[in-house]
Amino acid sequence: MKRSGWVAWLRLLAGLGILVALVWHLGSQAFLAGLRRIDTVTLLAALGIGVLTTVCSAWRWCLVARGLGLRLPLGRAVADYYRALFLNAALPGGVLGDVHRAVHHGRSSGDLGRGVRAVALERTAGQVVLLVTGAVVLLVRPSPVLAPVVSFLASPAVALSVAAAGLLVLAVAVRLRRRRGASRGERALRTVVAEARQGLLARGVWPGVALSSAAVLAGYLGMFVLAARVAGATAPTAELVPLVVLALLAMALPLNVGGWGPREGVAAWAFGAAGLGAAQGLTTAVIYGVLAFVASLPGAAVLLARVSPLSTARPATSGAVPRQAERPPLAAATGMIRQPAAEVPSAVAGGVRSQTSQATAARGDTS
Phi, psi of 257 (to 5 degrees): -120, 95
**If 0-12 CB within 10 Å is exposed, 13-18 middle and 19+ buried, where does residue 366 land?**
exposed
Q: What's the rounded Cα separation, in Å, for the pair 333 and 82?
A: 58
Q: For residues 125 and 306, give the distance between their C-alpha atoms in angstroms, rounded to a whole number.
A: 29
CA torsion sign for 219, 220, 221, 222 is positive
The answer to pTM > 0.85 is no
Report in angstroms the alpha-carbon separations of 27 from 21, 36, 261. 9, 16, 15
pLDDT digits (tens), the chain, 367 positions = 565 566 667 767 777 787 788 888 777 887 787 788 899 999 999 999 999 999 999 999 999 999 999 999 999 999 999 999 999 988 877 788 999 999 999 999 888 989 999 999 999 999 999 989 888 887 787 666 666 666 666 667 767 777 787 788 777 667 666 665 556 666 777 777 787 888 888 888 999 999 999 999 999 999 999 999 999 999 999 889 989 998 998 888 777 777 788 899 999 999 988 888 999 999 999 999 999 999 999 999 999 987 765 454 444 433 333 444 444 443 444 444 444 444 444 444 444 444 444 444 444 444 4
Report angle CA 238, 243, 149 to the nearest 5 degrees: 115
| Nearest C-alpha neighbor of 80 from the set 44, 46, 125, 115 | 115
